[in-house]
Amino acid sequence: MIEFIPLFMFLAVCLLLMLGYPVAITLAGTALIFASGGILSGDFNALELMAFSERLYGIMTNSTLVAVPLFVLMGVMLQKSKIAEELLESMAALCGRLPGGLGISVVLVGMLLAASTGIVGATVVTMGLMSLPTMLKRGYSPQLAAGTICATGTLGQIIPPSIALVLLGDTLSNAYQQAQLSLGIFNPKPVSVGDLFVGAVIPGLLLVLMYLSYLLIKAWRNPTLIAHTLNPAPINARQLLLSLLPPIVLIILVLGSIISGAASPTEAAGVGALGATLLALAKRQLNRKRLAEISQSTAQVTSMVFTILIGASLFSLVFIGYGGDQLVERLFEHVPGGVFGATLMVMLVIFLLGFILDFIEITFVVVPIVGPILLTMGLDPVWLGIMIAINLQTSFLTPPFGFALFYFRGVAPDSVKTFDIYRGVAPFIAMQLTLLIALAIWPELVTWLPSIL
């Protein structure tokens, strides 16, 4: 019975989260309750908890995690200073002569916005408030408008540079080192956040191209939509250049410096945060009140991430102290299909957990448990990270529990029915599943670019 205590811990966390308790307190509280019970019964060694201080020190001195508040500041700055809104208006004018031009502009701007924030809720809410009324007015069906905005909002999971990939890259790096050491390799090959960024480029672009192709096909099949998009407002070349060029150049500089090796993700995040601030100042969109709002939002998101990380660290410490890692390993040994069966099972579990847990909890709680075991089986860490990111992206979009759907429902008018949202996201879910299957068949779509760089 004692050997199943880690499983009971995990089930308890899931139940408490569904009841609405805060994530960080749930993780830490569950761990302390089970640890206390084990100490009283003699089934848990109290000395195991001594390692928690070392884990906290490791979090405090982890330079990679410094990128989190900087990337958050960059994204919030672009949102709150109206730069993203200007970018959407200019992109809509530029793409207005294309069939489905507004939808295309929503995807492209959403891609840039998602890349700069990596937070699903922020992107979905922002794009919903900015573009949904215009899309409905231009003749887009509620289903198509809802599907486009929700799917675009989840791009932050896979489009670099995103917070999701920063956190996932750091966690997978630790998991890969554990896997290498368990195999007797005492000089393990490092895996960096930059490797994950590079590996996400091709899958991310493929997904965006699939979205754009779908919108073009829908527009050609809907003459009314074409009529609306073929009569755009006149384009002001100077205004177009001023609104489009700076944020695009900023994101290219941040991502390019990481891919080229000129800067680490943390250094590039600093450049991005400073660049977004200077851009807001240059456009005269930054005042004391707005700066206070940006600082508060950045502090809130950063505090949430690190508080969850601390709670997850305590949970995993107690989980492993009860032999949870060995329990998971034994379960994997009995899964039919070997490596493929184990990977498929993990992907299915992560997909289902995405209904009740955000990517931060899954990254900090689930990945450290299953990651070392899968990587010991010979999986490529970059490929595994991208598969997990896209899997979570699909989970956040899947009815009836997808996070993106709840965020969109909160800003959508009553005229957009919940069933319209569900129908609208269905084609985009099919596209993401198609991409997952393609990456499983051809892992080179992920591993090729990192190998040549």
What is the chain's pLDDT, residue by residue, as a tens digit (453 residues)?
677 888 899 889 888 877 878 888 888 999 999 999 999 988 888 888 888 888 888 888 888 788 888 888 887 887 777 777 777 777 777 776 677 778 888 888 888 776 665 666 667 877 788 788 888 887 788 899 999 999 988 887 888 877 888 888 888 988 888 888 877 777 777 778 888 988 999 999 999 999 999 988 888 887 665 555 555 556 667 777 777 788 778 878 887 887 777 888 888 888 888 988 988 888 788 888 889 988 998 888 888 888 888 888 898 889 888 888 788 878 877 788 888 888 999 999 888 888 777 777 788 888 888 888 899 888 999 999 999 999 988 888 888 777 788 888 888 888 888 888 999 999 999 999 999 999 999 999 999 998 887
Residue 40 domain flag: no
Q: Please give the pLDDT value at position 436.
A: 94
Q: How far apart are CA 24 and CA 306, in angstroms?
A: 9
CB-based burial label for 324 (10 Å; 0-12, 13-18, 19+):
buried
Domain tally, the chain:
1
Predicted pLDDT at 226: 53
Does 35 reside within a domain?
A: no
**Any domain includes 443:** yes
296 found inside a domain = yes
One-letter amino acid for residue 451 of the chain: S
226 located within any domain: yes
Cα separation, 339 vs 333, in Å, equals 9
In a domain, 237, yes or no: yes
Q: What is the per-residue pLDDT for 437?
A: 95
How many CB atoms are closer than 10 A to CB 31? Answer: 25
Instruction: Supply 186's token pair.
Output: 């005492």
Quote the pTM value.
0.84
Q: Sign of torsion, CA 244 250 253 255?
A: negative
> Which of 114, 103, 106, 128 lies closest to 408, judged by CA?
128
Domain that holds residue 80: 45-452
Query: Is residue 151, in this structure, part of any structural domain at all?
Result: yes
Give the residue from 268, 248, 247 showing the smallest Cα distance to 197: 268
In a domain, 82, yes or no: yes
